[in-house]
Amino acid sequence: METVKLAGRVAIVTGGGRGIGRAIALGLASAGANVVITAARNPREASEVAQSAREALGRECLLAVAADVTREADCVRVVDTALERYGAVHILVNNAARGMRFVDERFLDRPAKFWQAASGAWRMIVETNVDGPFLMARAVVPHLLAQRWGRLINISINYETMGRAGFSPYGPSKAALEAATAGWARELDGTGVTVNALLPGGITDTAMVPDTAPEEVRRTMLDPAIMVAPVRWLCSADADAISGQRMVANKWDPSLPANEAARRALGPLPWT
Protein backbone atom coordinates (compact mmCIF):
# COMPACT_ATOMS: atom_id res chain seq x y z
CA MET A 1 0.00 0.00 0.00
CA GLU A 2 3.05 2.24 0.01
CA THR A 3 3.01 5.07 -2.56
CA VAL A 4 5.97 7.24 -1.45
CA LYS A 5 7.69 8.93 -4.38
CA LEU A 6 11.03 10.70 -3.97
CA ALA A 7 11.72 11.95 -7.51
CA GLY A 8 13.93 15.03 -7.39
CA ARG A 9 15.38 14.22 -3.97
CA VAL A 10 19.07 13.54 -3.45
CA ALA A 11 20.19 11.30 -0.60
CA ILE A 12 23.52 10.38 0.94
CA VAL A 13 23.67 6.96 2.60
CA THR A 14 26.88 6.19 4.45
CA GLY A 15 28.04 2.60 4.57
CA GLY A 16 25.88 1.80 1.56
CA GLY A 17 27.85 -1.12 0.19
CA ARG A 18 26.17 -3.88 2.18
CA GLY A 19 23.50 -4.81 4.68
CA ILE A 20 21.16 -2.10 5.92
CA GLY A 21 22.90 0.66 3.96
CA ARG A 22 22.60 -1.23 0.71
CA ALA A 23 18.90 -1.94 1.27
CA ILE A 24 18.19 1.70 2.13
CA ALA A 25 20.16 3.06 -0.82
CA LEU A 26 18.43 0.81 -3.34
CA GLY A 27 15.07 1.49 -1.70
CA LEU A 28 15.47 5.26 -2.00
CA ALA A 29 16.68 4.95 -5.58
CA SER A 30 13.71 2.76 -6.54
CA ALA A 31 11.41 5.45 -5.11
CA GLY A 32 12.94 7.95 -7.53
CA ALA A 33 15.74 9.55 -5.53
CA ASN A 34 19.32 10.00 -6.67
CA VAL A 35 21.66 8.49 -4.12
CA VAL A 36 25.32 8.81 -3.15
CA ILE A 37 26.67 5.96 -1.06
CA THR A 38 29.96 5.71 0.81
CA ALA A 39 32.22 2.80 1.66
CA ALA A 40 35.42 3.03 3.69
CA ARG A 41 36.88 -0.48 3.48
CA ASN A 42 35.14 -2.15 0.52
CA PRO A 43 34.61 0.38 -2.29
CA ARG A 44 34.12 -2.48 -4.76
CA GLU A 45 30.95 -3.52 -2.92
CA ALA A 46 29.61 0.01 -3.20
CA SER A 47 30.35 0.06 -6.93
CA GLU A 48 28.41 -3.20 -7.29
CA VAL A 49 25.42 -1.58 -5.57
CA ALA A 50 25.57 1.27 -8.08
CA GLN A 51 25.65 -1.26 -10.92
CA SER A 52 22.67 -3.11 -9.43
CA ALA A 53 20.66 0.11 -9.29
CA ARG A 54 21.56 0.97 -12.86
CA GLU A 55 20.51 -2.45 -14.14
CA ALA A 56 17.29 -2.57 -12.13
CA LEU A 57 16.11 0.99 -12.72
CA GLY A 58 17.62 1.83 -16.10
CA ARG A 59 19.10 5.13 -15.00
CA GLU A 60 22.29 6.52 -13.46
CA CYS A 61 20.77 7.16 -10.06
CA LEU A 62 23.33 5.83 -7.59
CA LEU A 63 26.93 6.94 -7.21
CA ALA A 64 29.50 5.13 -5.05
CA VAL A 65 32.22 7.15 -3.31
CA ALA A 66 35.16 5.76 -1.36
CA ALA A 67 35.12 7.72 1.90
CA ASP A 68 35.73 7.24 5.62
CA VAL A 69 33.20 9.10 7.77
CA THR A 70 35.78 9.51 10.56
CA ARG A 71 37.72 11.87 8.28
CA GLU A 72 36.30 15.37 8.07
CA ALA A 73 37.73 16.03 4.62
CA ASP A 74 36.09 12.86 3.29
CA CYS A 75 32.71 13.94 4.66
CA VAL A 76 32.96 17.33 3.00
CA ARG A 77 34.03 15.66 -0.25
CA VAL A 78 31.01 13.35 -0.20
CA VAL A 79 28.62 16.28 0.15
CA ASP A 80 30.46 18.25 -2.55
CA THR A 81 30.24 15.21 -4.84
CA ALA A 82 26.48 14.96 -4.35
CA LEU A 83 26.09 18.65 -5.14
CA GLU A 84 28.28 18.43 -8.21
CA ARG A 85 26.68 15.27 -9.58
CA TYR A 86 23.03 15.87 -8.73
CA GLY A 87 22.79 19.59 -7.98
CA ALA A 88 21.46 19.33 -4.42
CA VAL A 89 21.35 17.24 -1.27
CA HIS A 90 18.19 16.71 0.75
CA ILE A 91 18.65 13.56 2.85
CA LEU A 92 21.45 12.12 4.96
CA VAL A 93 21.19 8.58 6.31
CA ASN A 94 23.95 8.00 8.86
CA ASN A 95 24.26 4.24 8.53
CA ALA A 96 28.03 3.58 8.49
CA ALA A 97 28.99 1.81 11.71
CA ARG A 98 31.42 -0.64 13.19
CA GLY A 99 30.36 -3.33 15.61
CA MET A 100 31.61 -5.78 18.17
CA ARG A 101 33.47 -7.97 15.67
CA PHE A 102 36.32 -5.47 15.92
CA VAL A 103 36.60 -6.30 19.63
CA ASP A 104 36.17 -10.07 19.35
CA GLU A 105 34.86 -12.21 16.48
CA ARG A 106 33.11 -14.44 19.01
CA PHE A 107 31.41 -11.69 20.97
CA LEU A 108 28.07 -13.51 20.86
CA ASP A 109 29.26 -16.61 22.67
CA ARG A 110 32.10 -15.21 24.76
CA PRO A 111 31.34 -11.52 25.31
CA ALA A 112 34.31 -9.50 26.51
CA LYS A 113 34.14 -7.23 29.53
CA PHE A 114 34.61 -3.56 28.70
CA TRP A 115 38.04 -3.45 30.34
CA GLN A 116 39.17 -6.31 28.09
CA ALA A 117 38.46 -4.40 24.87
CA ALA A 118 41.56 -3.13 23.06
CA SER A 119 41.70 0.65 23.27
CA GLY A 120 42.28 0.91 19.52
CA ALA A 121 39.13 -1.08 18.74
CA TRP A 122 37.15 1.01 21.23
CA ARG A 123 38.26 4.25 19.60
CA MET A 124 37.58 2.94 16.09
CA ILE A 125 34.00 2.00 16.95
CA VAL A 126 33.24 5.25 18.76
CA GLU A 127 34.85 7.36 16.04
CA THR A 128 32.79 5.63 13.34
CA ASN A 129 29.48 5.42 15.21
CA VAL A 130 29.50 8.80 16.97
CA ASP A 131 32.06 11.10 15.34
CA GLY A 132 31.14 9.92 11.83
CA PRO A 133 27.46 10.93 11.98
CA PHE A 134 28.47 14.28 13.51
CA LEU A 135 31.01 15.01 10.78
CA MET A 136 28.59 14.03 8.02
CA ALA A 137 25.75 16.08 9.55
CA ARG A 138 28.08 19.02 10.06
CA ALA A 139 28.98 18.94 6.37
CA VAL A 140 25.43 18.60 5.07
CA VAL A 141 23.25 20.70 7.41
CA PRO A 142 24.21 24.15 6.04
CA HIS A 143 22.86 23.06 2.64
CA LEU A 144 19.64 21.75 4.18
CA LEU A 145 19.16 24.98 6.12
CA ALA A 146 19.65 27.05 2.98
CA GLN A 147 16.79 25.25 1.23
CA ARG A 148 14.70 25.06 4.43
CA TRP A 149 14.02 21.35 3.96
CA GLY A 150 15.98 18.26 4.80
CA ARG A 151 16.18 14.94 6.56
CA LEU A 152 18.78 13.54 8.95
CA ILE A 153 18.17 9.87 9.75
CA ASN A 154 20.47 8.13 12.23
CA ILE A 155 20.48 4.33 12.21
CA SER A 156 20.18 3.03 15.76
CA ILE A 157 19.65 -0.20 17.71
CA ASN A 158 17.40 -1.64 20.43
CA TYR A 159 17.68 -0.22 23.93
CA GLU A 160 18.47 -3.72 25.22
CA THR A 161 21.60 -3.83 23.06
CA MET A 162 22.74 -0.38 24.19
CA GLY A 163 23.16 -1.64 27.74
CA ARG A 164 23.81 -5.32 27.09
CA ALA A 165 26.78 -6.90 28.86
CA GLY A 166 29.60 -7.59 26.44
CA PHE A 167 28.46 -4.97 23.91
CA SER A 168 30.74 -2.07 24.83
CA PRO A 169 31.50 0.14 23.05
CA TYR A 170 28.97 -0.63 20.27
CA GLY A 171 25.90 -0.32 22.51
CA PRO A 172 27.00 2.88 24.26
CA SER A 173 28.03 4.44 20.94
CA LYS A 174 24.49 4.02 19.60
CA ALA A 175 23.04 5.40 22.84
CA ALA A 176 25.21 8.47 22.29
CA LEU A 177 23.94 8.75 18.72
CA GLU A 178 20.32 8.65 19.89
CA ALA A 179 21.02 11.34 22.49
CA ALA A 180 22.60 13.43 19.73
CA THR A 181 19.53 12.82 17.58
CA ALA A 182 17.33 14.31 20.29
CA GLY A 183 19.59 17.34 20.75
CA TRP A 184 19.96 17.98 17.03
CA ALA A 185 16.20 17.81 16.58
CA ARG A 186 15.75 20.55 19.18
CA GLU A 187 18.45 22.71 17.61
CA LEU A 188 16.89 22.37 14.14
CA ASP A 189 13.31 22.88 15.30
CA GLY A 190 11.47 25.27 12.99
CA THR A 191 14.07 25.13 10.21
CA GLY A 192 12.35 22.58 7.97
CA VAL A 193 15.09 20.04 8.73
CA THR A 194 14.06 16.99 10.75
CA VAL A 195 16.20 14.52 12.69
CA ASN A 196 15.04 11.02 13.60
CA ALA A 197 16.40 7.62 14.57
CA LEU A 198 15.52 4.46 12.66
CA LEU A 199 16.32 0.94 13.84
CA PRO A 200 15.50 -2.57 12.65
CA GLY A 201 14.10 -3.79 15.98
CA GLY A 202 16.20 -6.94 16.28
CA ILE A 203 19.35 -8.70 15.14
CA THR A 204 19.65 -8.09 11.42
CA ASP A 205 21.30 -10.18 8.71
CA THR A 206 24.40 -8.05 8.14
CA ALA A 207 28.17 -8.48 8.23
CA MET A 208 28.11 -7.39 11.87
CA VAL A 209 26.89 -10.89 12.74
CA PRO A 210 29.82 -13.33 12.63
CA ASP A 211 29.75 -16.70 10.92
CA THR A 212 30.06 -18.27 14.37
CA ALA A 213 26.63 -16.96 15.41
CA PRO A 214 24.45 -19.77 16.86
CA GLU A 215 21.80 -21.24 14.58
CA GLU A 216 19.02 -20.02 16.90
CA VAL A 217 20.27 -16.46 16.33
CA ARG A 218 20.45 -16.87 12.57
CA ARG A 219 16.91 -18.22 12.38
CA THR A 220 15.52 -15.03 13.91
CA MET A 221 17.58 -12.46 12.02
CA LEU A 222 15.70 -9.70 10.25
CA ASP A 223 16.02 -8.96 6.55
CA PRO A 224 17.63 -5.49 6.01
CA ALA A 225 14.83 -4.79 3.51
CA ILE A 226 12.46 -4.09 6.41
CA MET A 227 14.15 -0.67 6.66
CA VAL A 228 13.03 0.44 3.20
CA ALA A 229 9.38 1.37 3.75
CA PRO A 230 10.07 3.26 7.02
CA VAL A 231 13.00 5.22 5.60
CA ARG A 232 11.02 6.19 2.50
CA TRP A 233 8.21 7.47 4.70
CA LEU A 234 10.60 9.47 6.89
CA CYS A 235 11.92 11.10 3.71
CA SER A 236 8.45 11.98 2.43
CA ALA A 237 6.36 15.12 2.89
CA ASP A 238 4.09 13.15 5.24
CA ALA A 239 6.93 13.23 7.81
CA ASP A 240 7.49 17.00 7.66
CA ALA A 241 6.31 17.40 11.26
CA ILE A 242 8.14 14.34 12.62
CA SER A 243 11.41 15.11 14.42
CA GLY A 244 13.15 13.85 17.54
CA GLN A 245 11.44 10.46 17.18
CA ARG A 246 12.59 6.86 16.80
CA MET A 247 11.01 4.46 14.34
CA VAL A 248 11.25 0.69 14.82
CA ALA A 249 11.18 -1.01 11.42
CA ASN A 250 9.86 -4.39 12.50
CA LYS A 251 6.79 -2.66 13.94
CA TRP A 252 5.89 -1.37 10.46
CA ASP A 253 2.86 -3.19 9.08
CA PRO A 254 3.05 -3.17 5.27
CA SER A 255 -0.63 -4.10 4.99
CA LEU A 256 -1.62 -0.69 6.37
CA PRO A 257 -1.61 2.72 4.67
CA ALA A 258 1.85 4.25 5.12
CA ASN A 259 0.78 6.96 7.58
CA GLU A 260 -0.95 4.42 9.82
CA ALA A 261 1.99 2.02 9.64
CA ALA A 262 4.30 4.91 10.56
CA ARG A 263 2.15 5.90 13.52
CA ARG A 264 2.41 2.40 14.92
CA ALA A 265 6.18 2.19 14.38
CA LEU A 266 7.02 5.62 15.84
CA GLY A 267 7.84 6.49 19.42
CA PRO A 268 9.61 9.26 21.32
CA LEU A 269 13.32 9.27 21.97
CA PRO A 270 13.96 8.89 25.72
CA TRP A 271 15.83 12.20 25.79
CA THR A 272 12.85 14.21 24.46
Mind listing the domains of the chain with CATH numbers? 10-268 (3.40.50.720)
* pLDDT tens-digit map of 214-269: 666 667 778 899 999 999 999 999 999 999 999 999 999 999 999 999 999 999 99
Q: Cα-Cα-Cα-Cα dihedral of 81, 63, 170, 175, to 10°?
A: 60
d(CA 20, CA 97): 10
Average pLDDT, the chain: 92
170 is catalytic: yes
C-alpha torsion sign, points 85, 86, 90, 91: negative
* pLDDT tens-digit map of 192-201: 999 999 999 9
Strand partners, 21: none
CB of 254 closer than 8 Å to CB of 267: no
pTM above 0.85, yes or no: yes
Identify the active-site residue in 167, 170, 184, 233. 170
pLDDT at 144 over 60: yes
Q: In degrees, to the nearest 5, what angle opens at C-alpha 264 toward C-alphas 259 and 266?
A: 90
Strand partners, 246: 197, 267
pLDDT of residue 214: 67
